[in-house]
Structure 1
Amino acid sequence: MQREPRILDHPGLHPLWESLERERRQQQWFAIALMIAGLLGAIGGVVAGNILFPFVGAVVATLSLFWLYRILSEQPIAVLRRWLREEPERFAWVYTTHTERMPFGFKTQSQGTLYLVEPDGKTHSYSLEPKDLKLVGKTLNRVLPHAEFGYTEERDLRYRGEVTRVKGRGEGDLFF
């Protein structure tokens, strides 16, 4: 079922697109840093006269170059946009989680995650800012009207075959 392409440009989905682009950029920088470290290790091994460092450095640099090529050739935003536009029935269940890390009672980190689950149980997860979870979830509700929204143990058992238990939280506290 072809979806109107304008709905995918809705401001409610911009945090999702930004999250995908931010993750892709982080992978690119890490691959470049790993490639540079491998090259420096190889050069340092040659200068030091060690036979193992140049080999290991060259392997690390080559593998990180291959990884960088894969990152640059894959377009996760385009793939997700195509799935949402052309195959919205691909996703049967959508839910979010909000995780806060509080060592010694001090809030140090807050993270939101959006899960898109296919009927066969394959899960796609996307990291979002906690403040954007509700907005993206409501917008996806318009994009995927046939999908089930929100977490329940029954849906978890049906789609994934297992129940993920979260201690100390009620069902309504975790998910929109």
Structure 2
Amino acid sequence: MREIDMSNSMASGSDLGRLQAAPTTRHGSPAGLLPRCAATAIDLVIAVAVILVPLVGLDRLLAAVGVADGEAGAIWRTTAALWVTAFLLLYSPFSVSSRGATPGKRALRLQVVHLETGERIGYGAAVTRHFTNLVVTGIPVLCVANVSSINLSKDRRGLHDKASGSVVIHRR
């Protein structure tokens, strides 16, 4: 009968409770949860400024030229819907597909790359990644699963990374 050596295996329980370092790939080491959250915080500040400043300006302009309240509200709501939609379709997906990262990720030297090739992902994959992230973030149980996936897996990939075939790495 063959004897199995379990001294270095996970089954032995010797590594339970210890976090293992993320493996370094030929493209760079996978980024952990904290730098990714910090990059998201930077991007949220930018998003609030880019979305709200023009809309507040439009509100002031409509009031200054004396547009009736009902008509001004309709103009503002339509403009706000178009502006937010354009922002959602352009900011993260365009930044990731054209430059490899959003401004928040660039500030922290993170980059989104294709898992297999290490190249930037295309616009379609970036849109998939972004909208999957929005859905995952909006559903609490998926949000917990996503954070757990990023924090506990060796490749540090969230559900949105898996959906788009991407990985977030530290740029060299």
Q: TM-score, normalised to structure 2's length?
A: 0.34
Q: TM-score, normalised to structure 1's length?
A: 0.33
Structure richer in strand, relative to its length: 1
Q: Which of structures 1 and 2 has the larger relative contact order (alpha carbons within 8 angstroms, sep 6+)?
A: 2
